[in-house]
Amino acid sequence: MEGKLADQVRQQAARTIRTKVRDWGNQPRKAGRRWLSELVQNALDSADQAGVTKVHVRMEMTKRMFVFEHDGGHFTIDNLAALITGGSSKPYETPESLGQFGTGFLVTHAVSTKVKAEGFASSGDDSKMPFSLTLDRSGDEAGIQKNIETNLHQLESSDINGSQLSKLTRFVYSFDNDENRRTCSEGLDLWTKILPLAFAFADNLAGVELSEEEKRTSWRRVPTG
């Protein structure tokens, strides 16, 4: 009975992920205005949970991919499970993980249906384990469910490929098509315009760096007083 229930939960998770990823893919302009906000807010929320007072964000966009990384703190097991299942995982489900790495994160798949996530996850005994997982939302419901099961099995058995990152969390988005790249560009263009507001309202945002082909731009908080 327990196995059948777990299977039903994962089927529902796959169905929810497929529906939301498809919906965001059909709204590229709306997704373009929102997806990067989700990543930045997740980084700042992680920092709050970890007690990190200075968060540095680095972004890189090439013709083929977009990389987002930050030093705002590691994942918890709840965060990681919510990331894998789109916020549909019990008993891992918590209000914090649902809002932070659950359904809201799925808008970022408008940039790519395949995302590589790397970093460290902490357990209840304060130990940390490195992880490197691929979130593949490109297939049908059965394919997405298989990806969920593979990643959850690695999480539950601690058999997760080790990340080479020391204190960073990284997401790598490989563009599926030109539309994905345009969605990425729209998000970056918007954020470069509203960054002053982000610094004004996010006290723990210390610096942002963006690399685009041959161009590199950086912003940092200037101490006052």
Over residues 204-220, the pLDDT tens digits come to 999 999 999 889 999 99
77-112 confidence digits (pLDDT tens)? 888 888 999 875 444 444 443 444 567 899 999 999
Answer whether residue 162 shows pLDDT above 70. Answer: no
Confidence (pLDDT) at 97:
39
Backbone angles phi, psi at 129, to 5 degrees: -125, 135
Confidence (pLDDT) at 126:
66
Confidence (pLDDT) at 26:
93
Confidence (pLDDT) at 93:
46
> What CA–CA distance (Å, rounded) separates 74 from 54?
14
Answer whether residue 141 shows pLDDT above 90. Answer: yes
Confidence (pLDDT) at 15:
93
Answer whether residue 161 shows pLDDT above 90. Answer: no
* Count of other CB atoms within 10 angstroms of residue 158: 11
DSSP assignment string, 68-108: EEE-S-PEEHHHHHHHHHTS--TTT--HHHHHHHSGGGGGG
| Averaged pLDDT score across all residues of the chain | 84
> What CA–CA distance (Å, rounded) separates 134 from 205?
27
Q: Residue 152: pLDDT band by 50, 70, 90 thresholds?
A: confident
Residues 6+ apart with CB under 8 A from 160: 129, 130, 131, 132, 133, 154
Could you tell me the pTM of the whole model? Answer: 0.88
1-38 confidence digits (pLDDT tens)? 335 447 888 899 999 999 999 999 999 999 999 999 99
Backbone angles phi, psi at 25, to 5 degrees: -65, -25
Q: Where are the alpha helices (DSSP H) in the chain?
A: 2-25, 28-50, 77-85, 95-101, 141-157, 178-201
CATH numeric code, 2-220: 3.30.565.10
